[in-house]
Structures are given as structure tokens and as C-alpha cells.
Amino acid sequence: MCWPACDVGIGQLSDPGAFFMDSGLQLDISLDGALATIAQVGDLSMGQPLGHSRRVAALARMLAQACHGDGEHLQVAEQIALLRWSGCTANAEGFADLLGDDVDGRRAMLDLTLGNEQMNAVHQATPLAVVHCEVSGAIAKTLQLGTAVEAGLCRVFETYDGTGRPLGVAHEHIPEVAYQVVMAGDLDILTRAHGLDAALRWINEQSDRRYPASLVSLLVANAKAWLADLETLCTKVEPAPEQRRVSLTLVGDVIDLKLPWLAGHSRQVAHVAVEAARLWGLSEPTLANIGKSALIYGLGRAAVSNHLWNSPGSLPYGAAERVRLVPYWTQQALRPVPELTAPAEIATHAYERLDGSGYFRGVAGDALNAEHRLFATSVAWVALRQARPWRTAHDEAAAATLLKQDAGRGLFDNDVCEAVIAAASGERRLRQPKPSLLTARECRILLEISRGASNKQVAQLLAISPSTVRTHMESIFRKLQCSTRAAATLKGLTMGLIA
């Protein structure tokens, strides 16, 4: 098969950031766009309706303004509210183990319908709060939001009476903005679940327990009017033209953290899909849209519990339908972010198939253009090349055979399969770490840990003792200034130490 002239193979580059930089592609997004997208991931993760975090941001701003008037503190309140659930993908596995269903379980936790036994278990699950706070703080730091936002995110689970998590600090060590965001969230969630009167009764009962009484009085006096004002909230994110741009890869990393075996997945799909599209002769703007689509296509995955994603074999009807709706949730979550309209259109075709057997649209044949076909095939290729809890990764030859077999059955375009396989031929060389902060051995250990391997499994793989792995992990945590695997994974990806 001959496709349009190719330029450069992805195997020539040693780290993910260099690929997009050297190719001239700008896979970036406005800061407001990134915050809004990450907020939507958090809403789905916590079993909340899309737009919940944006409502909380507006309420927190109103409360902050009522406290201290106008000023930079209003933006701080908004940004903390938008990132409040940004660590939820990182501890989803832990909540799935604790509650059985990380999505429905956390929804019940927030609207106070979780059983007493499970709620007590949540209150004792301090390590999950540590993961959440470390990851959300790392996200804020990567986005350069400032120390006030980072500090607020680290205190959203602390309480006025000192019984909160993860540290149980006294109220004088909790920024007022953390209380403002938590109260705004409680008002939105409990009003929706139980009605305004019941919500305000519960919030009032938490005076000088969960939050300071002075803030409770202010909220109770204004809650009805503030909730009414939310009805005029703009549904679209329209950043200022001069606003700072940030890398969209961070959004992909946050999405991938939900499942340990998907660390770095969206970046790898971006590599393969962009280079396959380049081989196909598509324009530079289209290449950028395809690259961006790879970094956001898994967003809807957050709406489905980890216990379904970790299940081997065929899923029963109800569970299978939830999985088939993943691209639909991706589409809905990205509607408020106009700058992602074109990438989202490609992203939501990730699971469509030429014969119409895909989802969620079930379109076939000519309804799938070159971008759709290249992207869906690239997603399938990367999935074949990665390990899953129920199988090992397929080597390059086996993956190529399986992909071509699917093409023979009418699922994929055979010529597109050839382009994707050719584009991915140098893929393994992309996984060389960039050993600047960490040693080469530490990078390798972090890579395996990021994929969900235990210390014992890493020791067996590298033919070293578990105690040696533990020593390396302590060094990794110290150098990356974190204490959890999820935070180390996120930092390793954003710093180009692993791919």
C-alpha cells in the first residue's frame, strides 16, 4: 500500500514532549479550558452531574465576595472549586476496593446516603485522602496557579473541629477559602439531593464542626438568592484571548490516572495517531486536532466504576451499556469547551467501526472519515500493545496480526491499519526515559509502578530484591517531593521521566 509521502517516524524521538515540539504541533489549551475540562472529569468521577464543579465555583466566588469584597481571592476560590475533585481519578481504585463502586459509592458519600458502616470506613481511609490531596496539589503546581490554590486544595478534607483528613489540623491552619469551597459544594449537592431546607438544616448543624459558624450564617442568609443566580450561569467557557496556554497532556494524564494500567496511555495514542495521520498526508491543523483528541478521548471513562474496567471477559448487558456510553459522556463533558469542539468530534469516534458495530453512534462506512478511521485504529493498536489485568501485552507482530484480522472482518480499513502499524514501528523507542532528575533504574521502576505493579512484581521483573525496590521508591518519592504512587506517576509523566 502507498499512502501520501511520509515525513518523520516517531521512533526518532526520545520523549513525549519533544515529539510534539519538534513536529510543530501545539497540543495546548487555554488555562480556563484546562480547568473546565479537569472539573468535568472530577464531576463524573464523583457521580455528580456535569457542570457541578462550575456551579460550586460560582457559589464559592459569591461567598468569598460576600466575605471580603472584590480581589484576587475570588479567582483563588473559583480555581480551588474547579480542581477540588481533580485527585479523584488517582484514588478511584482505592474507593472501588473500599465501596465496591467508586462512582456510585462516592456519589452516596457526598449526598449523605451512604450506609453508616461504609461512611465510617471512608472516614478512616486517610491514605485515599493523601493521594487525592497530593495529586490535586501537583496539578495546581503544574498549572502554576500559585501557593494559595495549592494550599487550599490540600485542606478541602480538613474540618473546623480538627477531625478532618488527612492531617486533622486545627482550624487556624485551614485557609478560609477551603471552607468556602466545601460549603458551596455541600449546598449544591445536598440541595439537589434533599431540597434547600434540608440542606441548610444540615449545614447549620455543622457550625464550628465542619466549618466556622460565621460562614454558615452568611451562607444560610444568602443561599436561596445565590442558587437562583446560578440559573444565569454561562454554559460555555470563553477564555480571554490573551490568557496563558497550558499543555493538554496534563488533562490526558489526569484522565489516565483512573486505572493504574493506563498510565501514559493517552500520550501513546497521540504519538501513534498523529504520525499515522502524517503518513496519510493530512494537514497540520488536522494533525493537531487528532493529537488533542487522543488526550481527551478517555474522559467519559471516569463515569464507569473501576470494578467494571478491571473485569475480564464479556460484561453483562447493563454493564456493557455503561461502557458503550463512555464516548457519549466524553462528548457531553466537552460541550462547554468550544476550543475542543473539533478534537472532541474526533475523540468521540474512538470506538466506531466500519461495519457499524461500534459505539456510541453505531455509524458505518462513509460516515467515518479519514480522521475517524485513523484515530479509532490507533486506539485499538495501542490497547493491543499494552497489558491489561486479564492479559499480557501483545508484541508488535501479534498486535499487527490481530489488527489485520479485525480489518478482514470489516471493523477497520485495511489501508489505515497498514499506516498505523508503520507509524507505530518505532513506538518502543519512545519509552526511553529522560534521566535528568531520576536515575535510569529509578525511571524504570517508576514506569512499572505507574502501571500498577507491586514492589514484589518489580523486583521479580528486574531481578532485584524487594528491599532494593523499596529503597529506590523512597529515593523517587524524595526527589519528586511526594509520598504516593499516583502523585509520583503524574509528576513522572509531566516531567518526561516516563512515557
Q: Could you tell me which of 202, 223, 11, 213 has the C-alpha nearest to residue 113?
A: 202
Helix (H, G, I), strand (E, B) or coil at 29: strand
Q: What is the pTM of this model?
A: 0.91
Write out the CATH class of domain 10-27+248-431.
mainly alpha
Q: Which amino acid is at 461?
A: L
Q: How far is CA 17 from the centre of its chain?
A: 19
CA-angle at 489, arms to 89 and 320, nearest 5°: 35
**pLDDT on residue 426:** 59
pLDDT per residue over 182-195, tens digit each? 999 999 999 999 99
| Residue 17 predicted with pLDDT over 70 | no
Q: Give SS3 for 247.
A: strand
* Nearest alpha-carbon partner for 267 in 24, 37, 496: 496
Please report which confidence band the pLDDT of residue 23 belongs to, taking 50, 70 and 90 as the band edges.
low
Q: Flag the least confident range among 239-243, 462-466, 488-492.
A: 239-243
Residues 6+ apart with CB under 8 A from 433: 15, 440, 443, 444, 447, 496, 497, 498, 499
- In this structure, of 67-81, 306-320, 416-430, the range with the lowest mean pLDDT score is 416-430
3-state secondary structure of 30: strand
Q: What's the pLDDT at 24?
A: 64
Domain with CATH 1.10.3210.10 in the chain: 10-27+248-431, 29-232
Residues of each domain in the chain carrying CATH 1.10.10.10: 440-494
Task: Please check whether residue 298 is in contact with residue 21, taking contact to mean a CB–CB distance below 8 angstroms.
Answer: no
**29-232 is classed CATH 1.10.3210.10:** yes
Q: How remote is the C-alpha of 496 from its chain's centroid?
A: 18
pLDDT exceeds cutoff 50 at 219: yes
Question: Which pLDDT belongs to residue 21?
Answer: 41
Predicted pLDDT of residue 312: 86
**Residue 436: is its pLDDT beyond 60?**
yes
Indicate left, alpha or beta for 362 from its phi (over 0: left) and psi (-120 to 50: alpha). left
> Using CA atoms, how far apart are residues 360 and 345, in angstroms rounded to an integer?
12
Q: Is the peptide bond before 360 cis (omega within 30 degrees of 0)?
A: yes
The domain 440-494 is classified under which CATH number: 3.20.20.70, 3.40.47.10, 1.10.10.10, 1.20.1250.20?
A: 1.10.10.10
pLDDT at 1: 43
- Greatest alpha-carbon pair distance for the chain in Å reads 72
Span 105-143, pLDDT tens digits: 999 999 999 999 999 999 999 999 999 999 999 999 999
